[in-house]
Structure 1
Amino acid sequence: MTVLDRRRLLIGGAVAGAGALAAACTSNSPAESKNTADQRTQSPASPGKHVTIGFTAPAANHGWTAAISENAKTQAGRYSDVTLKATEGTNDVNQQIQQVQTMIDAKVGALVILPFDGKALTEIAKKAMAAGIPVVNLDREFADPLAYRTLIKGDNHGMGVSAGNFIAKQMAAKNVSKPVIVEVAGLDNLQLTQDRSAGFKAALAAHGLSVTARQAADFTAETGQKVTSALLQANKKIDALWNHDDDQGIGVLAAIRQASRDKEFLMVGGAGSRNAMTAIKADNTPLKATVLYSPSMAASAISLARLLGQGRGLTDMVEHEVPAQVTTYSAVVTKDNVDDYMVVGFA
């Protein structure tokens, strides 16, 4: 069974209904109580009440954001009781606000929103919630918890921790006591970049290590190559490098090859692209691992929105309702386990 299959089992297939709990508690009608109990015990893999789910996300101008939309559409297609109304991806905040307003006007059963700007989309998401439409906030958080029913996100701080712990372990195995560790970050004005760097720094510090040099790029291969070239010129010896983003990592690897330093140190990537996993499996580049920030969370968001729209919950949990927050785990993918994770690698 693949990792994605296991995830679907937990979120989409081993999920069962718990909704309409309030009705069961407040109604004196035996018929209503029986219907509620039946709904709670119904397997979510079987068809339930039809739900129209609205979906909006940023433009697919990056491998990860493109995979977000792809995962959402694929997951929705697995359910006979779901109709997905997916909007065209946009990085225009006003356009995305209008997209959400249109879906509110259409009275969709649930909304999945990955906001281009969480703060800017907060009020329109609160409006959806006030209209009785449960909102699943995907990854980039709104400024107010009242703007969503459930938040599902990646763990940016955890990414840094996982990368730092892996590098520290590798340095100890190589008996390198004072390694030169460099970091190629993403956009520094983004909270996610700051969180990743903070986690990386904290994990290294726990092992008595630190970052020797750090520069930020902007999540593109071009800037990744430019920044890495500068770091290589400034540091004549490097033991390990962490790059925050695998798309950016294409340029990082190009710079390393261009400098003929591809045998000198190990590299760890971030996010989990299929390209990175293929390189890790081949084991013929400095890239020895990548830390997951998987866009498969979008598929889980659709499953959660379906359950919210149907008034169901998660059978494997004692609580009857869908949880208020889900944070994915930042697993480290190496050549030893890459085959297990290849299915969630994005193009």
Structure 2
Amino acid sequence: MSRTTIPSRALRLVAAVGAAGLLVAGCTSNSPEASEDEGGGQSGAVSNNDEPGETVTIGFSGPAADHGWLAAINSSALEEAESYEDIELRAAEGTNDPSLQISQIETFINEGVDAIVLLPTDGAALTEVATRAMEAGIPVVNVDREFSTPFAARTTVLGDNYGMGVSAGTYACQLVEENDLTDPVIAEIAGIDSLPLTQDRSQGFADALEGCNQEVDNRVAAEFTVESGEAEASNLLQAAPQIDILWNHDDDQGVGVKAALDNANRDEMFFIGGAGSANAMRWIQDGEMEATVLYPPTQAADGIRVARLLAQQKGMSDLVQPAVPRRIVLDAPVVTADNVEEYLPLGFES
């Protein structure tokens, strides 16, 4: 697929949200080869952080795996811990009950683990116990859902919800230009509207579309489930007899969206997904979907890596700054037929 110039305002937005994603590179590129300065200056890397060090005990508490992305969060954390011989992982049972998760963190504190990686069921509800862990000298790595105060975590690892919207909207603008779409009908199927993450995704999408003088013409909100995706997509299709570009926020609910499209024999649109499921990537390979925007399911795995560095009192070797950053925001790239093979190993099963 050819690539055209991205509208300048949208390009600035992508640059802004993408720059923060570069921070995580220090976690994932620790080989000496990856750290050589190609410009002839001084190399920033001074050590290989993947070499075994002092054994550390990391407590991990994540959500119940009732959603493909959440299941991938948990499994990626477990697999990452197993890849290091100097990590002893104590993984609590996944739960959507804040009270149970609080008791899990209290157990980790009493056991004196070296670090805690926590994707909170409810960031506000888990803030107090996470703060207690920090006060006990146990560094907490907060994943995906932020606490109410920065004092509750040493480092926070986040996906970029606003950046997802920017990436989807920027790609939509590219499709408008490449295909010479005149007055295109652009539709959006959001997730749960009351959640800040959904609001951020929609705002990023609208902001990027503004860069090419477009806007969302038809919008519905689902609930991140297959059933709700199919129901809301069916409603949308009835209300909009013609759609040129459709962005669905979540690939798990996208299974239902795709079923509604197939049932209605609607294939006139460019269908863009969100989160990066394996089935969405297979649809891209088969020509049944245009693209999906990644919301990395590796956040907890990155959290495990960062917790190991903190517990071993190391920094990110590819950064000149010796300390682990307090905030790491991962990138939200667009996966298309051109690069799907690269991202397919990161895809999760819906």
Letter in 2 for 1:339: E
> Of residues 199, 216, 224 in structure 2, which corresponds to 1:219?
224
The yes-or-no answer on 1:11 pairing with 2:16 is: no
Q: TM-score, normalised by structure 1?
A: 0.88
> Of residues 260, 281, 290 in structure 2, which corresponds to 1:277?
281
Distance 2:29 2:213 in 1: 43
> Of residues 113, 116, 122 in structure 1, which corresponds to 2:118?
113
Letter in 1 for 2:251: D
Distance 1:300 1:227 in 2: 34
Q: Which residue of 1 aligns with 2:71?
A: 66
> Of residues 194, 205, 208 in structure 1, which corresponds to 2:213?
208
* Cα contact 2:113–2:138 (8 A) shared by 1: yes
Q: Which residue of 1 aligns with 2:59?
A: 54
Per-residue CA deviation, residues 254-284 of structure 1 (Å, 9 max, x unaligned), is: 101111112x11110000001100110111x
The unaligned stretches of length 5 or more in structure 1 are: 1-6, 17-39
Distance apart, 1:43 and its partner CA: 2.2
Per-residue CA deviation, residues 64-118 of structure 1 (Å, 9 max, x unaligned), is: 0000010000000011110010111000010001111110110000000000111
Distance 2:212 2:156 in 1: 32
Per-residue CA deviation, residues 113-170 of structure 1 (Å, 9 max, x unaligned), is: 0001111111111000000000000011111011000001000000000000101110
Q: Which residue of 2 aligns with 1:164?
A: 169
* Cα contact 2:24–2:328 (8 A) shared by 1: no
Q: Which residue of 1 aligns with 2:269?
A: 265
The yes-or-no answer on 1:190 pairing with 2:195 is: yes
* Cα contact 1:15–1:315 (8 A) shared by 2: no
Superposed counterparts of 1:33-182, under 5 Å? 41-182=46-187
> Of residues 256, 263, 271 in structure 2, which corresponds to 1:251?
256
* Cα contact 2:24–2:329 (8 A) shared by 1: no
- Partner of 1:119, secondary structure, is helix
> Of residues 287, 292, 301 in structure 2, which corresponds to 1:290?
292
Distance 1:150 1:91 in 2: 22
The unaligned stretches of length 5 or more in structure 2 are: 1-22, 33-44
Letter in 2 for 1:173: E
Count of aligned residue pairs for this structure pair: 316
Distance 2:253 2:214 in 1: 25
Q: Which residue of 2 aligns with 1:346?
A: 348
Letter in 1 for 2:154: R
* Cα contact 1:161–1:202 (8 A) shared by 2: yes
Distance 1:206 1:41 in 2: 42
> Of residues 331, 334, 338 in structure 1, which corresponds to 2:333?
331
- Partner of 1:215, secondary structure, is strand
Per-residue CA deviation, residues 291-335 of structure 1 (Å, 9 max, x unaligned), is: 000111221110000000000001111111111010000000000
- Partner of 2:156, secondary structure, is strand
* Cα contact 2:81–2:89 (8 A) shared by 1: yes
Distance apart, 1:42 and its partner CA: 4.5
Q: Sequence identity, in percent?
A: 50
Q: Structure 1: which 4+ aligned runs deviate by more than 2 Å?
A: 7-10, 40-43
* Cα contact 1:12–1:45 (8 A) shared by 2: no
> Of residues 304, 309, 312 in structure 1, which corresponds to 2:311?
309
Q: Which residue of 1 aligns with 2:6?
A: none
- Partner of 2:123, secondary structure, is coil
Distance apart, 1:11 and its partner CA: 1.4
Distance 2:29 2:180 in 1: 46
Distance 2:179 2:214 in 1: 14
Distance 1:339 1:48 in 2: 34
Largest Rg, 1 or 2: 1
- RMSD of aligned alpha carbons: 1.7
Q: TM-score, normalised by structure 2?
A: 0.88
